[in-house]
A and B are shown apart, each in its own frame.
Chain A
């Protein structure tokens, strides 16, 4: 099992550009989450999904969108990148009934 994989590992965007951060898990987990971690800070939940076709907002959803068409994939879309979105983005997943979350390696995004 590869676990949770994220691509790309690094990305630099210009203000106003768009991009999609990819997240895939091969553990057949129902629940998936997107977090951001600003330098020296903790984790903030952006969006989460409890299954294919079901998504909901977390603590900091503004400027982002998600979709969940399959159990395995949970992409995060940034439509109009802003410097405030410079952060490390983590995707995580968990299995129904198991509250612990397993994390991908993260995507380091810089918006200039």
Chain B
């Protein structure tokens, strides 16, 4: 069965620290997609990244980086030199290529608090 686990319910760090949000997934599909979304205190849901299962290259975008490891079924998200504006709930999600409805399987989210 498909499942996404974000074991960290809440993380609190001081500004400028690096922080990693964990995401572990389960799927029987050989082709799938992984996502990260950000939900700031204002409430909207912002798409951050999509990673395809056949592309294990890590991705870097400014202070954000993503580490995809099929061997451990993980898709972790690291924020380098965190800032107060990074405070948000972050969701990891999975979509299977065999699902023609393109449904997303969501993790429970990790609340990230960046203290000044």
Known A-B contacts A31-B101, A48-B101, A50-B101; the reply to A43 vs B44 at CB < 8 A is no
Among B43, B103, B106, B108, max chain A CB count under 10 A is at B103
B45 partner residues in chain A, CB cutoff 8 A: 90, 92, 103, 106
Residues 33-69 of chain B, each 1 if its beta carbon lies under 8 Å from chain A, else 0: 1010000000111110010000000000000000000
In the complex, A61→B33 CA distance in Å? 25
Known A-B contacts A48-B101, A94-B102, A99-B50; the reply to A42 vs B44 at CB < 8 A is no
Contact for A45 among B43, B95, B103, CB less than 8 A: B103
Residues 54-79 of chain A, each 1 if its beta carbon lies under 8 Å from chain B, else 0: 00101000000000000000000000
In the complex, A51→B53 CA distance in Å? 26
B47 partner residues in chain A, CB cutoff 8 A: 100-103
In the complex, A43→B37 CA distance in Å? 12
- Return B97 CB to nearest CB of chain A, in Å: 8
Q: Does B104 contact A (CB under 8 A)?
A: yes
Q: Please, which residue of chain A has its CB at the minimum distance from the CB of B44?
A: A105
| Pairwise interchain contact B108-A88, C-beta atoms closer than 8 A | no
Q: Please, which residue of chain A has its CB at the minimum distance from the CB of B104?
A: A101
| Pairwise interchain contact A106-B91, C-beta atoms closer than 8 A | no
- Return B87 CB to nearest CB of chain A, in Å: 15
Q: Does A2 contact B (CB under 8 A)?
A: no
| Pairwise interchain contact A106-B104, C-beta atoms closer than 8 A | no
In the complex, A50→B33 CA distance in Å? 19
| Pairwise interchain contact B33-A99, C-beta atoms closer than 8 A | yes
Q: Please, which residue of chain A has its CB at the minimum distance from the CB of B47?
A: A100
Q: Please, which residue of chain B has its CB at the minimum distance from the CB of A43?
A: B106
Known A-B contacts A42-B91, A42-B109, A43-B91; the reply to A99 vs B43 at CB < 8 A is no
Given A42-B107, A102-B47, 7 new contacts (CB under 8 A): A42-B91, A42-B108, A58-B103, A92-B45, A99-B33, A100-B33, A105-B44
Residues of chain B having any CB pair with chain A under 8 Å:
33, 35, 43-47, 50, 91, 95, 100-104, 106-109
Q: Which 4 A-B pairs have the closest CB atoms?
A: A103-B45, A99-B95, A99-B33, A42-B108
